[in-house]
Structure 1
Amino acid sequence: MTPSLIPFLAAARRRPPWRSARATVLGAVLLALVFVAALPTAAAPSPGPSASTVRAHVPSGVTAGVAVFDRRSGSFTEQVNPALPFRSASVVKLLITLDLLGDRGPDALEALDRARVDAMLRASDDDAASHFWTVNGAGAIIDRMVRKLGLTDTARPPATHPGYWGYTALSARDTVRIYRYLLDAAPAAVRDYVMGGLRSSTRCADDGYDQHFGIPGAFERPWAVKQGWSGFRSGGCTTPAAATPAARTGGPAVAGVDLGRPALHSTGTVGPDDRAIVAVLTLHPDGTSYGKAYTDLGRLTRSLNVPGAARPAGTWIGTWGTDVNVRENPTTTSRNLTVLPAGAEVLVSCQKRGEEVSIPPYTNDWWAYLPQYGGYVTNIYLSAAENQVPGLGQC
């Protein structure tokens, strides 16, 4: 019986005998109406999948521009503010590279320039970007790429910040256009060279930031990524280098582009044959830590409908503490692989007993294995109530 009918029927059974016949008839009519209302009705046909359907979960306080393009169907599976311009941060290095190469392959580059491009694509080297920005005309690079690729929301940095290549305006849909040009229209030598660099993205960037957030965290390989970040104080891996034009903040919006709030972007391709192009551009509230932005961007990216993507197995768990070491084995004396961005959410696949660690007031001999880092962290730094994470299997 429908639970909502039980109180009604119980009340009917408790009705006093002195109720009038009129009241009894009225009650029967009402009861019949309730039963009719409770009967199932024919369901309306469900709308089929739509290219404009938005499944993305944008965390509170985050401003996002999202575009996911399925190259197989030729349609978008996700769009959130796709035309909204963001400061590009290091994503602009794609345009700097394409402008430098033109229709030439990498063999046309001098050895030093090729080494610079390699570092720029794989480890997001800022010095290389600044070099090419200076020698190739600064904002003129962007003007040329806008014309060549047919970009609609991309613009050179504002006149107030001409040397800040990271302040180039860029939208999610223009980012998709860049990758579509690279994959479908660029000479094969250019395509293979650039995409090869993006597939070889290092976890730690040259400035000490962990750059495997967003796409690399949300999906299994194959993927290729060019990430961007701006306005954070530190980002895990190592002590960050001195601030660069791409890392400084510049105050309020200029020409519609926010130059103040911390920016974190994940762009690239996912799946066999680069099936999906993914662009996730985000701004975060002032004062947001890198680990918090890293986590929020990860959650947003994992919520997306990305055709051809394989998702890694494991449990996402928050962490706390700063300079948390990821070790090769579950001991404090084993090789240190890297450190986590403070407070970042991590994927954990299993746990095992190892060296007992004491960090007052906590003591724990359980360690968690992080498959995407290839190492272990002590469970002390997991945001879990017990020493052994409930429901998580043993390694």
Structure 2
Amino acid sequence: MKLLRSDESVVVPVGVTAGVAVFDRQAGQFTDLVNPDLRFRSASVVKLLLVLDFLWDRGPAYEIPAADQARLEVMLRSSDDDAASYYWDHLGGSAIIGRMVPRLGLTHTAGPPPTHPGFWGYAAFTAADTVRIYRYLLDQAPAPVRDFVMGNLHQATRYGTDGFDQYFGIASVFDSSFAIKQGWSGFPNSSGFGRDKSKPKESVVDLANEALHTTGTVGPDDRTVVAVYTLHPDGTGYGKAYSDVTRLIRALNVPGAVKTPGSWVTSTGSGVRVRSAPNTSAGVLGTLPSGVEVLVSCQKKGQLIDTPPRSSEWWAYLPKYDGYVTNVYVGSGGPKLPGVPDCQ
């Protein structure tokens, strides 16, 4: 693998195990590599292989039946697990992996352990093989396949169908020219196949610790492919893992990417609501994962919120949500965020 810089330049958050591969399609080289062939349980990233297997050999004139189109769209955009289970069952389970490995030239991808044949999220994936999947999609796949898959990944919803905020990592850092297929496994209340603390000997991947992966493309014409796989110590909260993965993405060399400007601020509390205007009468746009770092571009006066010992009439504007959250629940406790400009 041709590499622009050494992996020592990538700082992985303490306690996190990471596999990283960043490939600049325009230059034809990797710009960052960390453990690119280290295997992780795929979680929902395996859905890329499910859709490719379904569309394989269908021919350029093939029209996806309406029922399949609806299932595939929600699987790709909102990481729907019921749709993934449908295709896993109907296309032969691990045989899907067996077919796609030689088709795409994957080197370390494998099906789930024999003890868990139905657990598609336990398939073994690597960062380097994930780059190969995206490069096939972008450079070799028939145009209808490329347009369908990448078109849906460019329209990824903020929340998965299980309610989890999937805009961590790539989606948290970069401006809107990105496509994502994320993966999460082992966090409380997440759907699909979580984790197995029994650590079966047949598994080549860690099934016990929390997993959080961000993969996709960034920049004009999908210039750079980014694949980041992470494992977090047992018991890590979703907000902490979300922040660690996003912090790792912020440190990568991603050609063609434009980072959304602003200041990173830690939120407090649980279920903090993001609203369309700086008051509690405004519509709710979403909620923040507990203890997550969020990007703030400016702050604006609004409704006074008094929750002793904290009180503030200032609200932080979060560009990634296009909404506001009271300063009572972001920052270190002062009524106004230091170093953050007023909204104009």
Q: TM-score, normalised by structure 2?
A: 0.96
Once the two structures are aligned, what percentage of the paired residues are identical? Answer: 57
| 2:170 is the counterpart of 1:212 | no
TM superposition outliers: structure 1 runs of 4+ over 4 Å: none
Separation in structure 1 between the aligned mates of residue 154 and residue 274 of structure 2, nearest angstrom? 23
Structure 2 residue aligned with 1:306, among 236, 241, 254?
Answer: 254
> Is the CA contact (8 Å cut-off) linking 1:86 and 1:169 kept in structure 2?
yes
Separation in structure 2 between the aligned mates of residue 223 and residue 290 of structure 1, nearest angstrom? 23
Structure 1 residue aligned with 2:117, among 149, 159, 162?
Answer: 162
User: Partner of 1:51 in structure 2?
Assistant: 4
Matched to 1:76, the amino acid is F
Separation in structure 2 between the aligned mates of residue 50 and residue 148 of structure 1, nearest angstrom? 25
Separation in structure 2 between the aligned mates of residue 53 and residue 135 of structure 1, nearest angstrom? 43
| 2:107 is the counterpart of 1:152 | yes
| 2:206 is the counterpart of 1:251 | no
C-alpha change, 1:194 and 1:250, in structure 2 (3 Å) is farther
> Is the CA contact (8 Å cut-off) linking 1:52 and 1:78 kept in structure 2?
yes
Matched to 1:160, the amino acid is T
> Is the CA contact (8 Å cut-off) linking 2:267 and 2:329 kept in structure 1?
yes
User: Partner of 1:95 in structure 2?
Assistant: 49
Structure 1 residue aligned with 2:274, among 315, 326, 331?
Answer: 326
Separation in structure 2 between the aligned mates of residue 230 and residue 208 of structure 1, nearest angstrom? 13
- Per-residue CA deviations over 1:113-133 (Å, capped at 9, x if unaligned) read 110000000000000000000
C-alpha change, 1:377 and 1:106, in structure 2 (3 Å) is farther
Q: Residue 198 of structure 2 aligns to a residue in which SS?
A: coil
- Per-residue CA deviations over 1:216-250 (Å, capped at 9, x if unaligned) read 1111121101000000015xxxxx6xx422x3445
More strand by share: 2
- Higher CA-based Rg: 1
Q: Residue 129 of structure 1 aligns to a residue in which SS?
A: helix
**1:175-190 map, 5 Å:** 175-190=130-145
Q: Residue 88 of structure 2 aligns to a residue in which SS?
A: helix
Matched to 1:251, the amino acid is S
> Is the CA contact (8 Å cut-off) linking 1:57 and 1:299 kept in structure 2?
no
C-alpha change, 1:272 and 1:382, in structure 2 (3 Å) is same
User: Partner of 2:263 in structure 1?
Assistant: 315
| 2:69 is the counterpart of 1:121 | no
Count of aligned residue pairs for this structure pair: 339
User: Partner of 2:219 in structure 1?
Assistant: 271
Separation in structure 2 between the aligned mates of residue 272 and residue 176 of structure 1, nearest angstrom? 17
Separation in structure 2 between the aligned mates of residue 354 and residue 308 of structure 1, nearest angstrom? 37
| 2:89 is the counterpart of 1:134 | yes
C-alpha change, 1:373 and 1:249, in structure 2 (3 Å) is farther
Separation in structure 2 between the aligned mates of residue 108 and residue 287 of structure 1, nearest angstrom? 45
User: Partner of 1:61 in structure 2?
Assistant: 15
User: Partner of 2:243 in structure 1?
Assistant: 295
User: Partner of 1:379 in structure 2?
Assistant: 327
Cα deviation for residue 320 of structure 1 reads: 1.0
Matched to 1:101, the amino acid is L
User: Partner of 2:312 in structure 1?
Assistant: 364
Separation in structure 2 between the aligned mates of residue 249 and residue 360 of structure 1, nearest angstrom? 41
Cα deviation for residue 338 of structure 1 reads: 0.5
Where in structure 2 are there 5+ consecutive unaligned residues? none
User: Partner of 1:44 in structure 2?
Assistant: none
Matched to 2:83, the amino acid is A
Cα deviation for residue 390 of structure 1 reads: 1.2
Cα deviation for residue 50 of structure 1 reads: 5.0
Q: Residue 78 of structure 1 aligns to a residue in which SS?
A: strand
Matched to 2:258, the amino acid is A
Cα deviation for residue 147 of structure 1 reads: 1.2
> Is the CA contact (8 Å cut-off) linking 1:232 and 1:289 kept in structure 2?
yes
CA RMSD of aligned residues (A): 1.4
Q: Residue 108 of structure 1 aligns to a residue in which SS?
A: coil
Separation in structure 1 between the aligned mates of residue 295 and residue 164 of structure 2, nearest angstrom? 18
